[in-house]
């Protein structure tokens, strides 16, 4: 009877002791590791090396930020549609049978408005077709002409493709 009483109670006490031992063992093991870690992080040579490396990394990151800004500015600059000399040459050549009386361009919208004057009303459609052949234009808007007695004015709106595309 006495044995029957002691064994379960002893088991409970043993369980408490085992759990306590495990916890204490874990803590003691980590304490030993903490010593090693503390030795590493407080080592003056490691600290000096760390500080130097941190300074290097900080300088590198700063340079990377500058480079990123430059790239961003470069991208911004080249993202707009451009009315280049070669494009204007193409426009000029395709409108050679007419007289260019004005031309406006806005890079923010990519819109180029060309005003031409021609004496031959029959030539106007072929002039517009010529402009449509220019690959730098994504769209040509032609809505007609005005004029009389051998002089006709035409306004053509062209959309210049963005150089980014």
Looking at 38-46, 119-127, 133-141, 143-151, which segment touches other proteins (CB under 8 A)? 38-46
Residues in the chain: 165
Note whether 119 binds other proteins by CB under 8 A.
no
Closest separation between CB of residue 30 and other proteins, Å? 4
> What's the Rg (C-alpha) of the chain?
41
Note whether 44 binds other proteins by CB under 8 A.
no
CA torsion through residues 124, 126, 132, 136, sign: negative
| CA dist list (Å): 134 to 1, 66, 90, 103, 161 | 108, 38, 7, 16, 11
Question: What single DSSP character describes residue 161?
Answer: P
Question: What single DSSP character describes residue 163?
Answer: T
Note whether 93 binds other proteins by CB under 8 A.
no
CB closer to other proteins, 26 vs 122? 26
Note whether 147 binds other proteins by CB under 8 A.
no
The Cα 137–Cα 82 span in angstroms is 11
Number of residues engaging other proteins in binding (CB under 8 A): 59
Note whether 19 binds other proteins by CB under 8 A.
yes
Closest separation between CB of residue 156 and other proteins, Å? 14
Looking at 95-103, 123-131, 137-145, which segment touches other proteins (CB under 8 A)? 95-103
């Amino acid at each position: 009877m006495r044995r029957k009483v002691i064994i379960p109670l002893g088991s409970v006490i043993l369980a408490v002791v085992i759990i306590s031992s495990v916890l204490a063992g874990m803590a003691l093991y980590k304490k030993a590791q903490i010593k090693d870690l503390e030795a590493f992080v407080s080592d003056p040579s490691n600290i000096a090396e760390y500080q130097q490396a941190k300074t290097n990394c900080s300088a590198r990151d700063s340079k990377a930020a500058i480079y990123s800004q430059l790239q961003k500015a470069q991208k911004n600059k080249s993202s707009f549609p451009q009315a280049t000399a070669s494009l204007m040459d193409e426009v000029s050549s395709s409108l050679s049978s007419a007289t260019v009386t004005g031309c406006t361009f806005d890079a923010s919208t990519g819109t180029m408005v060309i005003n031409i004057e021609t004496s031959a009303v029959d030539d106007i459609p072929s002039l517009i077709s010529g402009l449509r052949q220019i690959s730098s234009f994504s769209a040509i808007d032609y809505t007609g002409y005005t004029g009389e007695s051998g002089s006709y004015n035409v306004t053509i709106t062209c959309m210049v493709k963005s150089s980014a595309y």
